A and B are shown apart, each in its own frame.
Chain A
Amino acid sequence: EVQLVESGGGLIRPGGSLRLSCAASGFTVSSTYMSWVRQAPGKGLDWVSVIYSGGSTYYADSVKGRFTISRDNSKNTLYLQMNSLRAEDTAVYYCARHEQPNGYDAFDIWGQGTMVTVSS
């Protein structure tokens, strides 16, 4: 079964760091694009970061310089290292797989989400 399972969320103080994990099964994370998408409480969806199959990485301006996306091919796991956390980073964080049928691109598989709360 194709599946993504996130972990690592929790309560963290402003300025702190947290690392989220996203374990994949049923496919290989290094063979496709993988993204992190977040959703603040009661709000909409907000793309955070992507890692391409070739290893290139890109970030939303709001997290650039603070967050780092990476993957461990041996563990088939995606990561999001979050540093210098702010209250506005409070959200449910989802990892998502990109499907690219016929040149298009969509998030076809999502994890269940992990909650990150930044508060003193």
Chain B
Amino acid sequence: DIQMTQSPSSLSASVGDRVTITCRASQRISTYLNWYQQKPGKAPKLLIYAASSLQSGVPSRFSGSGSGTDFTLTISSLQPEDFAAYYCQQSYSSPRTFGQGTKVEI
């Protein structure tokens, strides 16, 4: 199975900050990488697919980059509604695997 490792596990930030979360795959996965946002008590929401494609309806302050084994999710200017957990997930092979998550806190 492909292992996905995110860093950091948590971070503290303020409204307006630029935030970067990284995700590393245990083997090369091209750009088969997705990012999800999850708020407490809610289902995950797809933000980015194929490493850098913005899902419809997602604000443009979210962006993704990377290929191979190293990927990044960037929030250009953190908004109050962005405080949540973020997960990366590989879709290169089965079983689909997720990173352990990054909690963005105030």
Taking Cβ atoms with an 8 Å cutoff, the residues of A that contact B are 35, 44-47, 50, 58, 60-61, 94, 99, 101-102, 104-108, 110-113
Contact = CB atoms under 8 A, between A and B. Distances in A.
Interface residues of B, number: 25
A58 B94 contact: yes
A45 B55 contact: no
A106 B58 CA distance: 15
A113 B42 CA distance: 8
Interface in B29-67: 31-32, 34, 36, 38, 42-46, 49-50, 53, 55
Contacts of B98: 44-47
B101 to A, nearest CB: 5
Nearest to B32: A104
Contact of A60 (B34, B95, B99): B95
